Structure 1
C-alpha cells in the first residue's frame, strides 16, 4: 500500500521519504537521548504491576550475556522489574567474546538487529554510526568480535539491568511456590528465592565442551579443548593438529598460525569440508516464530539434518588460515590412535602418521548434565527428548539428552508430581534449540525469543496472582465523574 503524503508540507514530505535528510546521531550521547525519547513516547517501561512478595524476586536470570540482557529488557518492557541477573564472569566479560571465541569477526550479517527488541536506536548499527558515521558503516563488512562485546556492554549500560557479577550458581531446587538458587560471590555463599528462573547461561548452559571418549585417555599435557584457555604463545615454532571441520577449528588454527606455529594441520573426519550453511536457508520470520509449534518429528528432523550436513566456517575465516603456507587441511582423516613419543604425540590417522607437539580439539559443546553439578536436581527430574521422542537408530544422537521443553521454554517433569517447581525454570540457552529453534542465543532470533519468553512469564505471574488482581479491580474506586459535571433532568419534556 502506498502512503499518501499529499496533505503534508513539502519539507515534511521530503524528510519522511529521504532518509539522507537525517544523518543520525553524531555521538553516543545523542543516540542515548533518542533512545530515551523513544521509551518516553511509548510510555516504557510501564509501572510495576506484580504484587511484591517479601524477600522474593519475580524473576532471577542466570547469565548476563546477550541472552540474559535481552530477556531482562523484555521483562521490563512488560512491567516486570523485580528481577536480578547473576553472572560468574567479571563485569564486561560476560559471554564468549573475550574468552574462547577467537574469530576476527562475527559470521552474522551486520544488518541483523539482534537484541534491539524493535528499537532502532538500540541496534548495533545505530551504536556504530553514532561513533564512526554512516560512511564507516557502509564500508564495514562484518562486525569485529570485540566490538560486538563493546556494543553489548553499552546495551547493558543503557538498559540498566540489576546485575551481580563474579557470582556463580552452585545449586538449584524448589517447591510448588518458587525456586531457590544457591549462589557464591564476593560476599560469600547465599540463597536467593525467585518465582521464576531463566537460565540464560549460553552455549554450554547445560553441559560443556565435548571431548570424545578416546581423548580422555590421552595425557592432558598434549591437548587442549578449543573452548578452554589455550596457551597459543607456547605453540610458537611447534607443530599443531586441530581436529574439527567448523568455525571453531578454523579460528583456532588461525590463532596458532598467527602466534608463530611452525606447522598447523586441520584434520577433518568428513570426506569433504562442509560448504553450505543450511541454516541460512531457513533464516526468515516463519522459522523464528513458528518452529516451536511444529511436531516433534519436524523439529527433530530439522536439527538433525543441520547437524549431519555440517555448518561451514565463514569465508573470511577460512582465508585467514589458507593465507599461511604452513597450513594444511586434510579431509577424510579420522584419528585412530594417539601415542606419546617423548614430548611429542604421534597420531595415527586414516591418511597415515603424523607427529605433533599439541592437539586442539575443536569438537564443540554437548548437553552433558554431568558437567553441570549445580543443575543436578533439574537433571534428576526433567523430561528429555529421549524420553519423549527418539527415532529408531538415533538413540545415540547428541540431541537425545536435550531437555524436552514446554511452550514457554519451561522444563517439564519426567514423572509428574515429583518436582512441581520445575516448570518455573525456563531454558533460554543453547539447549532450547531442539524444542524452540535458534531464538535463545543466536543474533538473528534473540529478540523474538526474549519477547516470547517475557510474554509467557507475564501470563504465568498474572494467573498465579489472579485473586489479587480481581480484588484490586473490585476495590478500585477512583471516580472519573465527580457528579458536578451535569444536572439530571426531572422528567421527560
Structure 2
C-alpha cells in the first residue's frame, strides 16, 4: 500500500462512517475555537467533527507544519512512549501512525523500529491535518479570551474571533509557564542560560563546556543533542543521589489506570498525583545510553545547585561536590502550573477554582504545585469559585497539562489522548446541545411531518 492508497482508504472510511466536513459559520460565530494546533488540538478538532460539530477553527501561533514541540524545542531522537500506543485516531485503523508508517515502509519496516522517530511523528501530524482538512490558522497568537454575552471573544494580534466554546489545547506549558529557578535568572544575563523549551544556538556553543540542571529525559536529550552539535563537554547535574528507575506511567498504561482515573475520588486523585510528582520519571534506557556514550558527557549525582555566579564570560556553579566553571547553562526544571500565569486568561483567572479551593491535603502528600492546578470537570471544563464566575467560565476548557490532577494523564501524554479526546468532544457536544435545548425541544414537540403515506382499507 502506498501513501496515496492510504489516503483513499481514509476518505472511504470517513464516508462509510458518515463523517462530514468542517464548515464556516454563517453568522460569524464558531461553535468551538481551539487554541493550539498540535496533536491535542488536531485530535480535538476531529473528535468534534465526529460528534457532528463542524463549525470549528484551530488557531496556532507557529508557522504551518511547526505546531507543537517536535520541530522546535524537542531534541529527543524518538518519542518516549511505546510505538504501539494509539492516540488521535479514534479507533480508525487507517488514521493510526502505524498505518501511516506502513504505507511508506511496509509491515517489515514497522517491525524494524523500536520507537517512533520524532521527525516522523511530526510528519504524521502534518498528514493527519491535511487528510482530514482541519481548518488551522497559523501564525496567530491568542492574547486574550474575553467572555461576552454567553460566548467568548478571542483576541489575536491581527483580528478577533467569536466562539461559543473555547478549548485551550496549549500543551505542556499551556497551564502556566516554564520554570527557571531565581538562583539562575537573578544571577546571569539571558545570553548565558536557556530553558530546554527555548531555541538554543548550539552552533555558537561548539567547543564549549555546558551544564544541564535536571534529571529527567529532557536533560539527557539536550546533553546528547548538544554533544552531537559539537559541544565539548555536557555535564548533567541531578539533586538525587541516584536516578529513578521506575516509571509509574508504564503501570498506568498496562493497568487501565489512565482511562478510569477521572472516576477516582478527589482524595485518591490528589494522593496519586502527589506520589507521581515525588517519584518522577526516569529517562528511557535508550535516551540515557545515547547521551552516556558520547565523549564529553558527565553525570553528577547528588549535586543540587547551591549557588550560581556570573564570571563575566561564563558561570560558576556550586554544588556539594565543589565548584564548576561553564560557558553556558541549560535548565531542565519543568514548569509551574497556575492559571494566574496565563495572560490570555487574565480576565477570568481570579474566578477559576483551584484544587486548594476544594481539597485540603495533609501530611506528606500535600504539594503546593498541585494546589494551584485548576479544578476541572470530568470533561475538562474550568469550574468557578462562585456562581458568577461559574457562569463566566461556562464553555472554557483546559485540554492541556493543567488537567493532570483532575483528569489524569489525558492531554498531558500520548498515553492518555485516546481516552481523553472522546470525553472532551462528547462533553462539548453535550454542552452545545444544552445551550439550545429549549429550541430543540420546542421543535420536537411541534414536529408533525407525515412519514407514512399508505391508506388504511
SS of the residue corresponding to residue 224 of structure 1 reads: strand
Aligned to 1:428: 399
Alpha-carbon distance, 1:46 to partner: 8.9
Q: Does 1:438 align with 2:438?
A: no
Structure 1 or 2, whichever has the larger Rg, is 1
Specify which of 169, 173, 186 is matched with residue 204 of structure 1: 173
> What is the alpha-carbon distance in structure 2 between the residues aligned to residue 418 and residue 237 of structure 1?
55
Q: How does 1:210-249 map to 2 (within 5 A)?
A: 210-219=179-188, 220-249=190-219
Aligned twin of 2:371:
400
Deviations 1:373-425 (A, max 9, x none): 22212322101112222323666532221101112211111122145120210
Q: Secondary structure at the match of 2:240?
A: coil
User: In structure 2, the residue corresponding to 1:447 is in which secondary structure?
Assistant: helix
- Tell me: CA distance 1:415–1:467, structure 2 relative to 1, closer, same or farther (3 Å): closer
Listed as ranges, the matches of 1:56-75 within 5 Å are 56-75=29-48
Kept after mapping to 2: 8 A contact 1:116/1:122: yes
Alpha-carbon deviation of 1:288?
2.6
Alignment partner, residue 385 of structure 2: 414
* Other-structure match for 1:283: 253
Give 1:42 shift.
2.1
Of the candidates 93, 101, 104, which is equivalent to residue 77 of structure 2?
104
For residues 328 and 118 of structure 2, what CA distance do their matches in structure 1 show? 26
Alignment equivalent of 1:180, drawn from 153, 156, 165: 153
| 1:240–1:357 Cα contact (<8 Å) kept | yes
1:243-392 equivalences in 2 (<5 Å): 243-284=213-254, 286-369=256-339, 371-392=341-362
Q: Give the Cα separation in 1 of the matches to 2:350 and 2:456.
A: 70
Contact 1:46 1:78 in 2 (8 A): no
* Counterpart residue number, 1:44: 19
- The 1-side partners of 2:420 and 2:322 are apart by 47
Residue of structure 2 in register with 1:35 after alignment:
10
Structure 1: segments with no counterpart, 5+ residues: 1-25, 489-493
Determine which of 121, 133, 139 is the counterpart of 1:148.
121
Partner of 1:194: 163
What is the CA–CA distance in structure 1 between the aligned matches of 2:216 and 2:195, rounded to whole Å? 14
TM-score, length-scaled by structure 2? 0.95
Q: Distance between the aligned counterparts of 1:281 and 1:150, measured in 2?
A: 29
2:429 paired with 1:458: yes
Q: Tell me by how many angstroms 1:357 deviates.
A: 0.9
Deviation at 1:183, TM superposition (A): 1.4
Greater than 3 Å deviation, 4+ residue runs? 45-48, 368-371, 393-396, 474-478
Contact 1:210 1:363 in 2 (8 A): yes
- 2:30·2:56 contact (CA, 8 Å) conserved in 1? yes
Aligned pairs, how many?
455
Q: 1:436 to 1:396 in 2, by over 3 A?
A: closer
